[in-house]
Structure 1
Amino acid sequence: MRALSRISLTQRLTLMFVLAASSVLLVLGFVIASSVEQHFEDLDMEVLSGKMELTRQALLRVHSQQGLTEFTHQLAYSLVGHHGMEVMVIDVDDTVIFATGHAGFDPARVMRQAIQAPDQPALWQLDAQTYRGLAARLPTAMADAAGQPLQVFVAVAADIVHHQTYMQSFLQTLWLFVAGAALLTGVLGWVAVHRGLTPLRAMRRQAQGVTAQQLSQRLPVNTIPRELAELAQSLNEMLARLEVAFQRLTDFSSDIAHELRTPVSNLLTQTQVTLSRARSADDYRQILESNAEEFERMARMISDMLLLAKSDHGLVLPQREGLSLALEVRALFDYFDAVAEEKNVSLRLLGDGSVSADRLMLRRALGNLLSNALRHADPVSTVTVCVSGLEHGVEISVANQGEAIAPEHLARVFDRFFRVDPARQRSSEGTGLGLAITQSIAQAHGGTIRAASNDGVTTFTVYLPRT
Structure 2
Amino acid sequence: MSQTRSRSLTLHLTLWFALASVFVLFLLGLLIGRSVEQHFEEQDIEVLAGKMELAKHVLEKALTTPSGETLAKQLDEALTGHHGLVIAVVGPNRQRLDAHVGLVLPTELLSDRLATGGGRPIKWVADDGLPWRGISATLTTRGQAGSSYTVVVATEISHHEHFMGAFRQTLWVFMLLATLAMGLLGWFVVRRGLAPLQTIKRQAAAITANRLHTRLPVDAIPLELGDLANTLNDMLSRLEESFQRLSDFSSDLAHELRTPVSNLLTQTQVTLSRARTADEYRDILASNAEEFERLSRMIADMLFLAKAENNQLIPHPEPLELADEVAELLEFYGVLAEEKEIHLSVIGHGTVSGDRLMLRRAISNLLSNALRYTPVGGTVTVRIETQGDEEVKLTVENTGSCIAAEHLPRLFDRFYRTDSARQRTTEGSGLGLAITRSILIAHGGDVSVRSAEGITRFTLSLPVGGQL
TM-score by length of 2: 0.90
Contact 2:54 2:78 in 1 (8 A): no
Residue 124 of structure 1: how far off its partner (Å)? 1.5
Contact 1:397 1:460 in 2 (8 A): yes
The ranges of structure 1 where at least 4 consecutive aligned residues each deviate by more than 4 angstroms after the TM superposition are 2-5, 56-65, 67-72, 106-109
Deviates more, 1:186-195 or 1:395-404: 186-195
Residue 404 of structure 2 corresponds to 406
| Deviation sequence 1:3-60 (CA, Å, 0-9, x none) | 9963333222322222222222222222111211222222222222333344445556
Alignment of 1:248-397 (within 5 A): 248-391=245-388, 392-397=390-395
Could you tell me which of 420, 423, 426 is aligned with 2:421? 423
Q: Does 1:186 align with 2:186?
A: no
Contact 1:87 1:99 in 2 (8 A): yes
SS in structure 2 of the partner of residue 104 of structure 1: coil
Alignment of 1:449-460 (within 5 A): 449-460=447-458
User: How far, CA to CA, are the matches of 1:121 and 1:110 in structure 2?
Assistant: 12
Question: Which runs of no fewer than 5 residues in structure 2 stay unpaired?
Answer: none
Residue 281 of structure 2 aligns with an amino acid whose one-letter code is: Y
Deviates more, 1:41-50 or 1:165-174: 41-50
Residue 383 of structure 1: how far off its partner (Å)? 1.3
Relative to structure 1, is the Cα distance of residues 222 and 139 closer, same or farther in structure 2, using a 3 angstrom cutoff? same
Residue 139 of structure 2 corresponds to 138
Residue 65 of structure 1: how far off its partner (Å)? 6.8
| Deviation sequence 1:357-391 (CA, Å, 0-9, x none) | 22222222112111111111122222122222224
Residue 101 of structure 1: how far off its partner (Å)? 1.2
Contact 2:116 2:138 in 1 (8 A): no
Residue 340 of structure 1: how far off its partner (Å)? 2.2
User: How far, CA to CA, are the matches of 2:285 and 2:151 in structure 1?
Assistant: 128
Relative to structure 1, is the Cα distance of residues 125 and 293 closer, same or farther in structure 2, using a 3 angstrom cutoff? same
Residue 253 of structure 1: how far off its partner (Å)? 0.5
| Deviation sequence 1:241-264 (CA, Å, 0-9, x none) | 211211111111010001001111
Deviates more, 1:400-409 or 1:93-102: 93-102
Contact 1:368 1:434 in 2 (8 A): yes
TM-score by length of 1: 0.91
Contact 2:115 2:150 in 1 (8 A): no
Contact 1:114 1:137 in 2 (8 A): no
User: How far, CA to CA, are the matches of 1:56 and 1:435 in structure 2?
Assistant: 111
Relative to structure 1, is the Cα distance of residues 129 and 261 closer, same or farther in structure 2, using a 3 angstrom cutoff? same
Residue 23 of structure 1 corresponds to 23
Relative to structure 1, is the Cα distance of residues 43 and 276 closer, same or farther in structure 2, using a 3 angstrom cutoff? same
Deviates more, 1:135-144 or 1:349-358: 135-144
Deviates more, 1:417-426 or 1:231-240: 231-240
The Cα RMSD (Å) is 2.6
User: How far, CA to CA, are the matches of 1:101 and 1:410 in structure 2?
Assistant: 110
Deviates more, 1:151-160 or 1:100-109: 100-109
Residue 234 of structure 2 corresponds to 237
Q: Does 1:81 align with 2:78?
A: no
Contact 1:122 1:133 in 2 (8 A): yes
Residue 40 of structure 2 corresponds to 40
Relative to structure 1, is the Cα distance of residues 276 and 65 closer, same or farther in structure 2, using a 3 angstrom cutoff? farther
Question: Which runs of no fewer than 5 residues in structure 1 stay unpaired?
Answer: none
User: How far, CA to CA, are the matches of 1:314 and 1:116 in structure 2?
Assistant: 88
SS in structure 1 of the partner of residue 41 of structure 2: helix
Residue 68 of structure 1: how far off its partner (Å)? 7.4
Contact 1:90 1:107 in 2 (8 A): no
User: How far, CA to CA, are the matches of 2:68 and 2:4 in structure 1?
Assistant: 76
| Deviation sequence 1:114-149 (CA, Å, 0-9, x none) | 3798432222221211222223433222354xxxx3
Contact 1:396 1:463 in 2 (8 A): yes
Contact 1:352 1:388 in 2 (8 A): yes
Give aligned pairs, total. 462
Contact 1:114 1:153 in 2 (8 A): no
SS in structure 1 of the partner of residue 213 of structure 2: coil
User: How far, CA to CA, are the matches of 1:359 and 1:116 in structure 2?
Assistant: 101
